[in-house]
Amino acid sequence: MQAEALSLSDMIEQHARLEDSYVQLRTTNQSNLANAVALSDGVDQLNQALKTQRQMQAELLVMAKNVALGSLVAGVSHELNTPIGNCLMAASTIQYQLDELRIKSMQGLSKHEMASFVQSLRTGADILVRNLGRVAKLMGDFKKITTDRSSLRICDFDLHDAVDAVIASKSARKNNHRIENHVPPSLTLNGYLNELSDVISELLDNALRHGFRDRPNGIVIVDGTIRTNFFELTVIDNGCGILPEHLERIFDPFFTTTLGQGRSGLGLHAAYNMVHATLRGKINVSSVVSIGTHFTIELPLNSTEVDPPKSDHMQERTKSLGNVIG
């Protein structure tokens, strides 16, 4: 009888404990439910914030592209204004002198007047040719940054021979400068030969025109090394170097330290664009003033294994601009 009473008491205590546990579990579940609701609200807020941030990023990207396009248009207009103005002045002068010649020819021309007219005509023609040449050079540089992707051709080529061909086109020797090809012989790559040659040419021109502008007997070394999963091309010169405040801007379009001396400031920008957009690689630069400049280009070993270049909205707008002014 006593054992049964103990068992009943134990059962009552156990039941009481179960009720307490149930109450605690119910309270915990309610708390978890409230936390879940709060978490869901937090997730919704985060998703809304992420959506807002993405919209802001998209708007900022559009603004940045518009600013870049505006800078591009302003740069092209600025560079074209001077040579086109000179051409208009020369053409109008020639036109005026032709009218004068027509009038004087009816009255008779002396040898001195004819010689003077011929000399004036030759001077005007020289001005036209020189300035139209500047316009053509600017258009050539500009079109390098708006390459028609459908015209690109991938091929196997010997890099040592390609570098030799570029060096042969430069006038370094007559200026007592030297360009050395340290690329190993018989190093075959698969990629865009013409575009890579243009990049190397721009880097060599940069050294010859800017790095050695105040220095005789400059040396440029072109070298190439195969790394684990990419190819590294270096162009090193012992020129005057690049000022730190200019180093971050040298790839910007129309940036040049020789403003007004016939330089468009598109050469290194074109090289940067071709390396990143066409060759699917990277280009970096380091420089020490009075010591020299070091360009490093990293390229895939095989361009057929790399996704083809994709043109973005800015590139399409730039290409359209090139078609309009070209």
pLDDT band at 172 (very low <50, low <70, confident <90, very high): low
Helix axes of 313-325 and 111-144: crossing angle, nearest 10 degrees: 170
Helix (H) or strand (E) holding 235: strand 231-237
Rank 36-40, 267-271, 292-296 by mean pLDDT and report only the highest.
292-296
Q: Is 263 a residue of the active site?
A: yes
For the chain, give the number of residues. 326
pLDDT band at 197 (very low <50, low <70, confident <90, very high): very high
- Find the angle CA(191)-CA(324)-CA(91) to the nearest 5 degrees: 115
pLDDT tens digit sequence for 54-90: 888 777 766 766 666 666 666 667 677 888 888 998 8
pLDDT at 175: 73
pLDDT tens digit sequence for 247-286: 988 888 777 766 555 556 678 888 998 898 888 899 999 9
pLDDT at 6: 54
The pTM of the full predicted model, rounded to 2 decimals, is 0.57
Q: Which residue has the higher pLDDT, 263 or 172?
A: 172
Q: Is 29 a residue of the active site?
A: no
Mean pLDDT of 92-112: 84
Query: Which is catalytic among the residues 131, 181, 263, 273?
Result: 263
Query: Which is catalytic among the residues 131, 195, 202, 273?
Result: 202
Domains and CATH numbers, the chain: 1-152 (no CATH), 153-308 (3.30.565.10)
